[in-house]
Amino acid sequence: MPNWTTVTEFLLLGFSDTRELQILYFVIFLAAYLAALVGNLLVLTVVTMDHHLHSPMYYFLANLSILDLGTISVIVPKSMANSLLNTRTISYAGCVAQVFLFFLFCTANLAFLTIMAYDRYVAICKPLHYEIIMNRRACVQMAASAWAAGAMYSAVHTGNTFSLPFCHSNIINQFFCEIPQLLKLSCSDAYRRELAAVAFSVFLALGCFVFIVVSYVQIFTAVWSIPSEQGRQKAFSTSIPHLIVVSLFLSTAVIAYTKPISDSPSPLDLLAAVLYSVVPPLMNPVIYSMRNREIQAALRKLLHRLIHSNNNMSIFLS
């Protein structure tokens, strides 16, 4: 019989054992984290304050920003704290919470990206029926279903993973608690059940990607038939950013979860994890603000309002 022991904490993988490089890593990730916070909070603020953006597409975009904030906040602060304090530990309960929340946000993120593709399909391919199909009640139900699906899916994976005994080691070869890395530590054959569930998740993600691609094939076909050049540009400006975000999120996540897991710490594993957990929340606000003219206009109005209010305040104080 294997020597099973109760694991009370895990040891995460550090980016370096050199103190100077640990500080450098902390500074880089702090800058990325603050940029992601500012970018996503700006999107949330603009969508909330500008009544021209009170439409289904931007309602879903606001939810996506909340999910991006959650995704990066679950992982990066703990890793930065470990680097700054020169430690690698995370408690068992902390690891459970990290796995549950990260899987919740990622699953709901994929659900919202799929919903947004459907929203663009209805808006461009069936414009006369858009108000009926994408009414307020339907949008709220879709959003609630996405959050609920994420919570249930995450609960199943987290429960399956942490019901397994860990006896091989408590060292996770990743900078956060990742399910494939945790399964390596199990000394029970039951881990194959969760491994199969993870594989099913990858195929489900690919299924969502196929649905999104099919939707956009029909969208672009319809866009080219629009006689107005301005109409085509508007359709592209709201569709291209979403397609870029979907490609960035799914490509990095599929690479991370389908590549073979090495027995020793690998720079490739770290890079893949950073690409799908840190880069999308950081880049999504940039992609939407750079390509979406309505977001750009709303940002300019918000900045103008802030500058105007600051000038009035300065005049009042003087």
Pick the CATH number of 9-312 from 3.40.50.300, 1.10.1060.10, 1.20.1070.10, 3.30.70.1070: 1.20.1070.10
Tokens of 312: 């009035």
Tokens of 51: 């009544």
The position carrying tokens 């609960």 is 155
pLDDT in tens, 48-103: 888 888 889 899 999 999 999 999 999 999 999 998 888 889 999 999 999 999 99
Domain boundaries, the chain: 9-312
pLDDT in tens, 171-222: 888 889 988 888 888 877 666 666 677 777 777 878 888 898 888 888 888 8
**Percentage of the chain exceeding pLDDT 90:** 31
- What is d(CA 36, CA 76) in angstroms, rounded to the nearest whole number? 11
**Coil, strand or helix: which one is 91?**
strand
Name the DSSP letter for residue 186. Answer: B
Residue 179's alpha-carbon distances to 51, 108, 147, in angstroms, are: 41, 17, 20
- Backbone phi, psi, residue 194, to 5°: -70, -35
- What is d(CA 273, CA 12) in angstroms, rounded to the nearest whole number? 13
Supply the pTM of this predicted model: 0.85
- What is d(CA 52, CA 202) in angstroms, rounded to the nearest whole number? 37
- What is d(CA 166, CA 188) in angstroms, rounded to the nearest whole number? 8
Q: What is the pLDDT of residue 59?
A: 93
pLDDT in tens, 13-33: 877 778 888 899 899 999 999
260: Cβ contacts below 8 Å, ≥ 6 apart: none
- Residue 238's pLDDT band (boundaries 50, 70, 90)? low
Residue 300 has pLDDT above 70, yes or no: yes
